[in-house]
Structure 1
Amino acid sequence: MGKIFSMFWIFFKIGAFTFGGAYAMIPLIEAEVVDRHKWITKEEFLNIVVISQSFPGALAVNINTFIGYKLGGILGAILALLGTILPSFIIILLIASFFTKFRSNYFISLIFKGISAAVPMLVLVAIVSLSKSIKKNYTNLIIIIITVLCIEFFKFHPVLIIILSGIYGYFFCRKKVG
């Protein structure tokens, strides 16, 4: 029981102090649940991230809910969900109540400029961390290149890429049995 309350507090802190969305949170979540507490393995974490991207909704909420469920069933999932969304909810309420007074404040503007400069680097850390778990072979390299081209240059919707990748995996990545 202490583990799931500890998990709630960890997700609450990550949610409260991470700007830039889920991709900025991924390395922090991984550091806590995989490296520090060893609640799940690196491979399990990667699988959770991949599955979470396939579900609708906020990625960090999906990731943390899956982790919470793995650690504590339904109660763990609920606490993980609350730990993830409560900080944003509270922060948005506070900002909304004071925003009109501070939106043109020079110092607040500088703070947000500094935060916005750090966010892309947090996303890059997540990409590097997750890429370490991918097998290094030509097939995966080709899939990565095709995915980037389809999303960036041909403007495919990411959901379509996920569906096509799932179909590809189903038909071409099965291990031969027998």
Structure 2
Amino acid sequence: MKENTPSLWDLYITFVKIGGFTFGGGLAMLPMLQKEVVEKHHWATEDDLLDCYAIGQCTPGIIAVNTATMLGYRKRGVLGGIIATFGEVTPSLVIITALSTLLNQLQGNVIMDRAFAGIRVAVCVLILQAILKLYKKSLVDIPTILFCIATIICTVFLDFSPIWFILIGIAYGLIIQKIKRGNGK
């Protein structure tokens, strides 16, 4: 893959687009990140994007903002991180500011309630699409599948904190890589 350094304006506009058309939070943005950052602009590989996304999930704050910051930083340093972050949040700031008074006036309106019910369904589909993309890249062998099952059981049914599984996942990845390197892989 060729090295492609975007202008600050291109970073900003791309993340305005991602931030403006991603409904449903961080998981829903993965397909758009894939399309814009990997396929269209070639600013990262799929693996790079998943790494940034995983770190964005593991760090405090909003996944979308964390991921934009990291991708911007990787391409243009501190200023790139700031610009990508500002691009990511600009649509939300504009939309929230414009809609806040309108929503207060329409609270309890049947049409609005139905519209939001429809949006929730669409968001579920976007999240499922993101999960399927992550699944294909992340669950690559029996140990990762077993770790995934254990994480689901412990976080959903036993109310364990996902933080523990993130830390265990980091340790697991480091150990597996050390073993693979030790075996000449």
CA deviations 1:126-178 (Å, max 9, x no partner) are 11112222352111111111111111111111112111222333344423288
Task: Please give the alpha-carbon distance, in whole angstroms, between the structure 1 residues aligned to 2:154 and 2:162.
Answer: 9
Q: Which amino acid aligns with 1:150?
A: C
TM-superposed deviation, 1:10 = 1.8
| Pair 1:176-2:170 in alignment | no
User: For residues 23-82 of structure 1, what are the alpha-carbon distances to aligned partners after superposition, in whole Å with 9 as ceiling and x for unaligned?
Assistant: 011111111100111111111111111222221111111111111011111111011110
TM-score (norm 2): 0.87
Q: Can you give the 5+ residue segments of structure 1 that lack an aligned partner in the other structure?
A: none
Question: Which of 81, 88, 91 is residue 84 of structure 1 equivalent to?
Answer: 88
Contact 1:4 1:71 in 2 (8 A): no
How much identity, in percent, do the aligned residues show?
A: 34
SS at match of 1:20: coil
Partner of residue 49, structure 1: 53
Partner of 2:7: 3
Partner of residue 36 from structure 1, selected from 35, 40, 55: 40
Give the letter for the 1:176 counterpart. G
Deviation at 1:91, TM superposition (A): 1.7
Runs of 4+ with >6 A deviation: none
Q: Which structure is richer in relative contact order (CA contacts within 8 A, separation 6 or more)?
A: 1
- Is the alpha carbon distance of 1:36 and 1:154 closer, same or farther for their aligned partners in structure 2, counting shifts above 3 Å? same
1:102 aligned residue (97, 103, 106): 106
Q: Name the count of aligned residue pairs.
A: 178
Calculate the aligned-residue CA RMSD, in Å: 1.9
Q: What's the secondary structure of 1:133's corresponding residue?
A: helix
Aligned residue in 2 for 1:152: 156
